[in-house]
Structure 1
Amino acid sequence: MSDPADTGRLIAITLDEASIDRGSPDVEHERAVAVYDLLEDNVFRPAGVGEGPYRLVLSIQENRLVFTIQSEAGDHLMSHLLSLTPLRKVVKDYFLICESYFSAIRTAAPAQIEAIDMGRRGVHDEGSRLLAERLAGKIEVDHDTARRLFTLICALHFKG
């Protein structure tokens, strides 16, 4: 029997390999850290499917992000499709600033790295807010969960 505190959270995340290409070591690291952090601490409550905990499979199909939500035992509970079009610009901006950041951490002065990282965090926050708004009424997430999900969306979108 699961702990009542675990009823509104994710216990497993699978990224659909058919939707993602393997990324650079930096992208793979970001992905692994986001999954680890997300599983350690998250708020995830899909509307209308009962109590969790939940398993989540993330994939991209026809320019839509697919949240396939399963019970703890792996039974399909629901799928939620989210258009990636509203996220496209912020994902593109995030990738551009990440490229600058990953390049800078190898050669730039600490002040320059810090400035780029502040910009990176700002774009990441913008994407997180947009994602939380798009999920409102469908899947409840807190700010930290939205941030980590945004990182995973970027990892999935890396193929595109």
Structure 2
Amino acid sequence: MGENRLISIDIDDETLGASGPDAEHERRVAIFDLIEENSFGLPDHDKGPYALSLSQVERKLVFAIRDEAGEDVHTFILSMGPFRGVIRDYFMICDSYYDAIRNQTPHQIEAIDMARRGIHNEGSELLAERLEGKVNVDFHTSRRLFTLICALHAGQTR
């Protein structure tokens, strides 16, 4: 694996604690998937791999990035405002999807799942745009980071 990748993700439970076992499970899966495969690099910095710490300050997401030795490399803050609508829509379509699995035909489930993936892609693209100039990520890493952000906000938005 290359140097432009994440090797660990730490969540500040004080500010971003998942609520309930389902949210905690989603968070663990999102972290595992992200660590398993990602592309994460800093512009003008080639000393990866990196460790990422996520926390929240005044409804803003804080990305604190360290190198493999634990030395601080870069910290930046993203406002959650631009994500609120897409996260809300994503949770609504996920609820519809899980309900459809129990009550609808395979064709209806597939249609809802396509909409769910579309909203997830929209959130992933928004995240990639907001990270531009701060962190270089590929589409799959952006998707996994968006999944993690959603998992972290599951209890706060529902």
Q: Same fold (TM over 0.5)?
A: yes
Deviation at 1:84, TM superposition (A): 0.8
Which residues of structure 1 form unaligned runs of 5+? Answer: none
Q: Aligned equivalents of 2:45 and 2:8: distance in 1?
A: 17
3-state SS of the aligned residue for 1:57? strand
Note if 1:95 corresponds to 2:91: yes
Note if 1:52 corresponds to 2:48: yes
Normalised by the length of structure 2, the TM-score is 0.89
Note if 1:143 corresponds to 2:132: no
Q: Aligned equivalents of 1:136 and 1:17: distance in 2?
A: 27
In structure 2, relative to structure 1, the CA distance for the partners of 1:24 and 1:118 (3 Å cut) is farther
Normalised by the length of structure 1, the TM-score is 0.88
Aligned to 1:16: 12
Deviation at 1:29, TM superposition (A): 3.5
Q: Aligned equivalents of 2:13 and 2:89: distance in 1?
A: 24
Q: Please tell me whether the aligned partners of residues 70 and 77 of structure 1 are also in contact (alpha carbons under 8 angstroms).
A: yes
Q: Please tell me whether the aligned partners of residues 89 and 119 of structure 2 are also in contact (alpha carbons under 8 angstroms).
A: yes
Aligned to 1:117: 113
Paired-residue identity, % = 54
Q: Please tell me whether the aligned partners of residues 21 and 158 of structure 1 are also in contact (alpha carbons under 8 angstroms).
A: no
Q: Please tell me whether the aligned partners of residues 19 and 159 of structure 1 are also in contact (alpha carbons under 8 angstroms).
A: no
3-state SS of the aligned residue for 2:69? coil
Q: Aligned equivalents of 1:159 and 1:48: distance in 2?
A: 37
Q: Aligned equivalents of 2:33 and 2:39: distance in 1?
A: 12
Which residues of structure 2 form unaligned runs of 5+? Answer: none
Number of equivalences: 156
Deviation at 1:82, TM superposition (A): 0.7
